[in-house]
Structure 1
């Protein structure tokens, strides 16, 4: 599918029924429950690991500091150095986690598609599929673009942030199924689709997310990790309804039948 084909399908997008979207999200979640839980576990584990990896050398460095030398500096100088150091450490953690989260979510959508087709496995599909040399540069740029757009939206108060959340989620989906697209093409298509189907997507995610939170809290809060991944599914189903998938057609074209 070309970028032009994708934009044409978005332009001619059919109506998406909220009731059907809600029901299909619940049904699909039953198929990807374990994968959704694994996504949350991986995210938390990697976040903790990266934080420790970055902060541990900084913490251990205190054992080799000559505090007599520190006393020769003013409290103001020491404070400035500490602030700058912590800023760069936080920046490193933020960038790495943004890349990892984007890659994991994109891979999750590919796994969702696989389960949606009732396939147990698929060659090359897994949580690490986009943390590879051929994809990592684009994942880095897209994840940084997400942060930049979100920050700009926040500067214009909270309402613009709510608006951009939907297109930014579609950016992950469009990349997941069209990794050959350029960054500009992905963002353009994401905002076109996100703007056109913002209400139905945001509304479904809000309602389903609230229900998932309630169920998770009833399961002693730990259950939130098991249920929260359902909020990713409405956007996938909207993409499926509007754009669709062409795996079978692409396979036929490759083998020349």
Structure 2
């Protein structure tokens, strides 16, 4: 879909009904909760090594400082520098993977929404020809979040709405440039900020509540529900043209 067409649809979007979107999100979640669970588990699987890579060296430094303070004074600065550099690389790498998985999940939601019988590809955006754009988009994502954090935490709350739309916009418009993807995400986020924030908040509370009621592990099964209202909003505001539907239906490698 052309950039101008997307922007026109956003600017002339109709009023969205909170209850209708929430109801449709629940019905759609019933179709894709297994795929959402797989996405969450994949994300968790990539995140765990990152956590251990950071916590183990820090624990080692703590033990070293307590038992051998003189040695720690010499070696701690070097290890801290290495940990910081490795952490930066891992954060970038993890962001690339998580962004790709999230965008692919939205494509899977679309397939189930239209009852398409196609292959589920959770790594669609982590392969050619989209990997380079996923990497570039991840740097933009991290840069915006970092800038918002440096400006104190209120801007983070604001930018999280358009940043969450970034996954959806990318999923269905990968032909757009990185700057245009970010631009459209902010335009849609600004236009529908309050209803999106409200839906995401309510969906998150509901997902956590039901997850805890299912002996905590249920959170893995309900976590993906938070993402679905964003898809429904995109569907109602921008939508999909006939060529996109045909492309999805014919591409058996998705």
TM-score, normalization by structure 2: 0.87
Query: What residue in structure 2 maps to residue 89 of structure 1?
Result: 86
Query: What residue in structure 2 maps to residue 41 of structure 1?
Result: 41
- Relative distance call for 1:240 and 1:92 in structure 2 (3 A) is same
- Relative distance call for 1:136 and 1:199 in structure 2 (3 A) is same
TM-score, normalization by structure 1: 0.86
Task: Name structure 2 gaps, 5 residues minimum.
Answer: 59-67
Matches within 5 A, 1:190-201: 190-201=185-196
Query: C-alpha offsets along residues 82-116 of structure 1, whole Å, 9 cap, x if unaligned?
Result: 11011112112111110000000000000000000
**What is the CA–CA distance in structure 1 between the aligned matches of 2:90 and 2:219, rounded to whole Å?**
24
**What is the CA–CA distance in structure 1 between the aligned matches of 2:174 and 2:216, rounded to whole Å?**
36
2:112 pairs with 1:115 = yes
- Where 1:126 maps in the other structure, the secondary structure is coil
Given candidates 82, 95, 99, the residue that maps to 1:98 is: 95
Give the CA deviation at 1:157.
2.0
Give the CA deviation at 1:156.
2.1
Given candidates 203, 219, 223, the residue that maps to 2:218 is: 223
Determine if contact 1:51/1:93 at 8 Å carries over to the other structure.
no
2:176 pairs with 1:209 = no
- Where 2:170 maps in the other structure, the secondary structure is helix
Give the CA deviation at 1:133.
2.9
**What is the CA–CA distance in structure 2 between the aligned matches of 1:51 and 1:160, rounded to whole Å?**
26
- Relative distance call for 1:250 and 1:27 in structure 2 (3 A) is closer
Matches within 5 A, 1:1-257: 1-49=1-49, 75-122=72-119, 125-248=120-243, 251=246
Query: C-alpha offsets along residues 36-87 of structure 1, whole Å, 9 cap, x if unaligned?
Result: 10011111112224566x67xx89xxxxxxxxxxx9x964331110110111
- Where 2:126 maps in the other structure, the secondary structure is coil
**What is the CA–CA distance in structure 1 between the aligned matches of 2:140 and 2:183, rounded to whole Å?**
12
Give the CA deviation at 1:248.
4.4
Determine if contact 1:10/1:243 at 8 Å carries over to the other structure.
yes
- Where 1:133 maps in the other structure, the secondary structure is coil
**What is the CA–CA distance in structure 2 between the aligned matches of 1:249 and 1:139, rounded to whole Å?**
20
**What is the CA–CA distance in structure 1 between the aligned matches of 2:244 and 2:233, rounded to whole Å?**
21
Aligned length: 238
Which structure's CA Rg is the greater one? 1
Task: Name structure 1 gaps, 5 residues minimum.
Answer: 60-70
